[in-house]
Amino acid sequence: MRPQSTQYGLPLFLEDASGLLVKTTFTDLHDRLQLVLKATSASGPNQLQLALSLSTSRNAKSSPDCIIDLPQRLERGTLSYGAGPALSIESYLRRVSGLSSRSPNRRFTASDSHNYTWSMTQSNPRDSSTISWVCTNSQGAVVAEYATNDPEVTGSRCAAVLTIEEAQNSMVLGEYSMVSPQVSIRSNYISCVVVELLTTLTIVRYIAQTSS
């Protein structure tokens, strides 16, 4: 039985403070939640381990919602949600058929049983600040977008903004334990799909940076 959720009626506008993969904070423009992404002490010259933690004003946790292990050879990379098992990144975040083997675009099946695809676009090949990422569902509808921040438009000094459409960001009130064929998550006051979207975005950005 799924827990009752509450729709806030607004997209999530998550301001990425630094734009860095190894240390940043995503803060909702309306202060509904915050996600912290940082490298752990297990990271080293040949291994990057990232921890992603989500909290709200009513809840703060000491344990991360996701651990991402990124060795030099990505095919050996893993991720784990909450207390769930380690998942192979290559199996969970799959290549998009018909694209070049060097393409960073990836698709995945989230815990809501829907398929999502992250695609990278770059309006100016010589300017990395023009890179943006769009996540679409199987019907082609945009569910999330990550792009460099324009201070003249937003009035914010953050590096980038991740926008997640309202249908994906319902807040789950209360503690739950959910198991799907691929994902196990245990957490408080979160939408698991929000965590999955940011986790997969982090990985595709890492793929794009390390393969360029």
pLDDT in tens, 20-69: 999 999 998 888 788 999 999 989 888 899 999 988 655 556 689 899 99
Domain count, the chain: 1
Structural domain contains residue 9: no
β-partners of residue 80 are 67
Domain around 193: 22-211
Structural domain contains residue 157: yes
- pLDDT digit string, tens, across residues 143-194: 999 999 988 888 889 999 999 987 655 543 333 333 333 433 333 334 578 8
pTM of the model: 0.84
135 neighbors 117 (Cβ within 8 angstroms): yes
